[in-house]
Amino acid sequence: MFRIIYKYNDKNTSGVNLAQESYTFEEITQLLYWKDSYSEKYRNFTFSKSVYDPALPGEICLFPIDFQSTPFESILDTVVKICSSAQKHYPNNKKIILIYTTTEPFIFKQTDDAILNLAKKFSDLTFVLSGSGHTQITETAEKILALPNVTLLNKLWYFDRVHYNKSVLELKDHHFREEEVEPDRHTPDYITCPNKFLLTMRNPRPHRMIMSYLVENSKTLDATRYSRNWSLKALHIKNMLENNDIEQQESIYQTHLILNTLDVLREYLDDKTFLKILDTALDHTHILDMPNVSDKGLPAKWLYDNINIAIIAGGEGEGYGYADEKQMIPIYFKKPFISFGCKGMNEEMEKIDFDVFRDCWDLSWSNAESLYERVNGCHELMKKLQALPLDDMVNVLEKTQKGIHQNYEHMTSGAFRIKSNENFLKGLEDACS
């Protein structure tokens, strides 16, 4: 049904430095490994490593282009050549130009004008835009998505990527430090005590800075194994700037993120709340899992020992459906989790049969319109769980066990790909209709 076509042997980009390893469409999805588990309709694929290979009547010609959120202008000429080749060599077949990122949500503001012009120029081609969710829809993006030959199709690509790296290629150090069962010696003693919650936040983002203010100014801090690795405190910045070159670069980056985040928050928060968030940012860091700010802070097993529930600060606060390794980590460490950030994270995970523990606690706040409401809703849930009598808390945690084991098996086996791939293939098919 689908003919997957590569213009440059096994790639549709040439000479582009991507952020992470480049995998073909069928590699990253393990399309062929799982195809026998699909419904009959989606089991047949053919592959062409040249645009000159003829297609059979009725085949949908798919040109996958993983740009990993690099500047789209850097691959624009290549994409134009692919579009021209698709028109020339497959005039009688339906043709899809799949422009996707396996590492990020689809970020419209980085691609808007180029894709709008591209879709208008090649109006006989179908363009499918895809990422692990997407950022906010811009004014230009609305024009793009209004075109009859453009479809936005979400897929949790980063789930594909992390599972492929970890479980198929056995790159064990990607995103996890399972061998670390004891805290590093720099870690304060108090954080090794049993707590109800784990909340680790590395980079400042609007939703994380809101949560830092809420947690640090409430009793939830007493029940939370907690860290945030940012601060506008002068001494903190001075210490980083006096360290090695990597720390200096990271200091500049972190300070930029904080200031940019404060600009964003200033736009829609009332003065009182904003000033409290600013006060929190001017306070000291809460360092838990990283010896320095330039460390990637890969979560270690000891972080998840002696905690009951992982509170997951999503990668993006705005947009829709962005779930990534942050949601996967508690699954691998067999802990229930509550995610906060953008809308639709839970729904996208449920679409591929992960349990987000909706029957254990209320998640209605996660799709509130405002970012503050979503973050505050998560914090209010933490407060409610913290206030539960011990027996009630035990009952809640027992209720999570089925979902924990289901998620672990679903993730580690790779079985989530069956639903994920089928949903995506159906979306590609529908885009051509």
Q: What is the pLDDT of residues 167-204, one digit of tens each?
A: 999 987 778 888 888 887 777 766 667 789 999 988 89
Residue 115 belongs to a domain: yes
Lowest mean per-residue pLDDT among 3-7, 49-53, 243-247, 352-356: 243-247
Same domain? 59 vs 204: no
With bands split at pLDDT 50, 70 and 90, how would you rate the model's confidence at 291? low
Map tokens 């993983």 to a residue. 66
Same domain for 301 and 384? yes
In a domain, 421, yes or no: no
Which residue intervals of 13-99 are DSSP H helices?
25-29, 31-34, 73-89
Q: What is the CA radius of gyration of the chain?
A: 23
Q: Note whether residue 82 is domain-resident.
A: yes
Residue 124: inside a domain? yes
Q: Could you count the other beta carbons within 10 Å of the beta carbon of residue 364?
A: 8
Determine the Cα–Cα distance for residues 154 and 104; give it in Å rounded to an integer.
Answer: 11
Chain segment 19-63, per-residue pLDDT in tens: 888 899 999 999 999 999 999 999 999 999 988 899 999 999 999
**CATH classification of the domain holding 316:** 3.40.50
pLDDT in tens, 85-125: 999 999 999 999 999 999 999 988 878 889 999 999 999 99
Share of the chain above pLDDT 70, in %: 97
Maximum separation of any 2 CA atoms in the chain, in Å: 69
DSSP secondary structure letters along 79-127: HHHHHHHHHHH-TTSEEEEEEE-SSS-B-GGGTHHHHHHHHHHTTTSEE
Tally Cβ neighbours within 10 Å of residue 34: 18
Does the structure show a pLDDT above 80 at 350? yes
pLDDT value of residue 294: 62
Residue 424 lies in a domain: no
Same domain for 295 and 393?
Answer: yes
Number of domains in the chain: 2
Both tokens assigned to 202: 């590395």
Alpha-carbon distance of 129 to 116, in angstroms, equals 12
**59 and 97 both lie in a single domain:** yes
- Above 70 in pLDDT, residue 235? no
Please say whether the beta carbons of 102 and 66 come within 8 A. Answer: yes
Question: How does pLDDT run across 381-395, given as a tens digit for each residue?
Answer: 999 999 999 999 999
Domain enclosing residue 94, as ranges = 2-153
Residue 149 and residue 178 in one domain: no
Is residue 433 domain-resident? no
Residues 129 and 278 in one domain: no
pLDDT at 319 over 70: yes
